[in-house]
Amino acid sequence: MTATPLLKVTDLAIEFSTPQGRVRAVDGISFDVYENETLGIVGESGCGKTVTGLSLLGLIPSPPGRIAAGSIELAGRNLAKLDEAAMREVRGGEISMIFQEPMTALNPVFTVASQMTDVIIRHKGLTRAQARREAIDMLGKVGIPAPARRLDDYPHQMSGGMRQRVMIAMALACGPKLLVADEPTTALDVTTQAQVIELIGQLQREFRMAVILITHDLGVVAETCQRALVMYCGRIAEQAQIEPLFRSPRHPYTHGLLDSIPRIRDQRLTQLPTIAGRVPDLLNLPPGCRFADRCTRAQEDCRTAEPELTQAGQSAFACYHPIGHQPAEPVA
């Protein structure tokens, strides 16, 4: 890990105006991503992970959304301050994003060739013929058989897995420094999921880029990421390397998430543990810890002031009463 991070997000807050008032979908989160690293962002629906991903490309729908505070520095440049035209250069050039729904994420009325070469021409300034050769090359790299022929297909002539491969090829065509993958495998069947995840890992090594993998699938995170953030209700609950995060989660929410994964060998388990209660309404947040109402370890102080994210041992977590006070304590 190099000393200077490629991407440095500091105190990022993203607000949406709603008829009921302003809502902070993301409330003061900070994290770094280093070159050649895969960072996982984990959390349940609505915790702000997709909004965080979109904000990195300046794609928060505005209005009603806006970046209310904080900075997003990519190689020393604050993206939150860039204007729209400069941001367009970044999108697809320095940062690429791939999305959850490969079935609808490509434009149905244009060929793959048209969509890919447009991106390549725009960012690399090549001629159409050169861009076409690059596109064929990229399609080959993502494992599409007979790429020269498939290039002229329309998206509906391809399977979901193939379309996601096309998305990845398009995302990597201009050699981005950072790839944001928002639930890239959720809509795919399990075999295709594994292939796509493997492909992203393989291309990451080849292109030496950083990857932010946004997912709710902890299995995928454990397999592919070096580090992960666990987000809850617009805040970071815990941030750690994968090893300590999975072996000895400190935040009760992380623990609850891990506990609710079905284990194949646990034959005697009759009912899967779940985290009781519901995510609080972002319009009506409790004064203390946002997880307090659902937490088994919550005490009086949890309900009065919100815990800050603090580094302790191998993890950073926002909790007054973390699991395992000694870092060395073995996990039950």
Q: How far is the CB of 84 from another protein (least distance, A)?
A: 8
Between 96 and 192, CB nearer to another protein? 96
Between 154 and 246, CB nearer to another protein? 154
The torsion angles phi and psi of 223, rounded to 5 degrees, stand at -75, -35
Judged by CB under 8 A, the residue of 128, 149, 156, 208 near another protein is: 156
End-to-end CA distance of the chain: 31
Per CB under 8 A, 66 contacts another protein: no
How many Cβ atoms are within 10 Å of 186's Cβ, its own excluded? 16
Q: How far is the CB of 60 from another protein (least distance, A)?
A: 11
With contacts defined by CB under 8 A, name the span among 86-94, 228-236, 264-272, 318-326 that binds another protein: 86-94
Tell me which residues in 91-120 interact with another protein (CB under 8 A).
91-93, 96-97, 99, 101, 104-110, 118-119
Q: How far is the CB of 7 from another protein (least distance, A)?
A: 16
Between 203 and 292, CB nearer to another protein? 203
Calpha distance 173→131 (Å, rounded): 9
Helix axes 160-172, 112-124, angle to 10 degrees: 10
Q: How far is the CB of 85 from another protein (least distance, A)?
A: 8
Per CB under 8 A, 55 contacts another protein: no
Calpha distance 164→100 (Å, rounded): 9
Calpha distance 200→241 (Å, rounded): 20
Per CB under 8 A, 79 contacts another protein: no
With contacts defined by CB under 8 A, name the span among 66-74, 141-149, 164-172, 324-332 that binds another protein: 164-172
Tell me which residues in 169-188 interact with another protein (CB under 8 A).
170-171
Q: How far is the CB of 124 from another protein (least distance, A)?
A: 12
Instruction: Give how many residues touch another protein by CB under 8 A.
Output: 30
Calpha distance 79→54 (Å, rounded): 12
Judged by CB under 8 A, the residue of 9, 57, 168, 302 near another protein is: 57
SS3 category, 192: helix
Calpha distance 221→224 (Å, rounded): 5
- CA distances to 5, 37, 174, 214, 311 from 2, rounded to whole Å, are 7, 10, 23, 23, 20
Structural Rg of the chain based on CA atoms: 21
Between 118 and 259, CB nearer to another protein? 118
SS3 category, 42: strand
Per CB under 8 A, 131 contacts another protein: no
With contacts defined by CB under 8 A, name the span among 13-21, 29-37, 84-92, 212-220 that binds another protein: 84-92
Per CB under 8 A, 89 contacts another protein: yes
C-alpha dihedral (139, 141, 143, 144), degrees to nearest 10: 20
Tell me which residues in 10-29 interact with another protein (CB under 8 A).
none
Q: Are 9 and 71 in contact (CB under 8 A)?
A: yes
The angle at the Cα of 27, spanning 26 to 31, to the nearest 5 degrees, equals 80
Q: How far is the CB of 113 from another protein (least distance, A)?
A: 13
Between 25 and 302, CB nearer to another protein? 25
Calpha distance 58→35 (Å, rounded): 21
Judged by CB under 8 A, the residue of 112, 167, 228, 245 near another protein is: 167
SS3 category, 320: coil
- Residue holding tokens 């050769």? 133
Binding footprint of another protein on the chain (CB under 8 A): 57, 59, 63, 85, 88-93, 96-97, 99, 101, 104-110, 118-119, 122-123, 154, 156, 167, 170-171
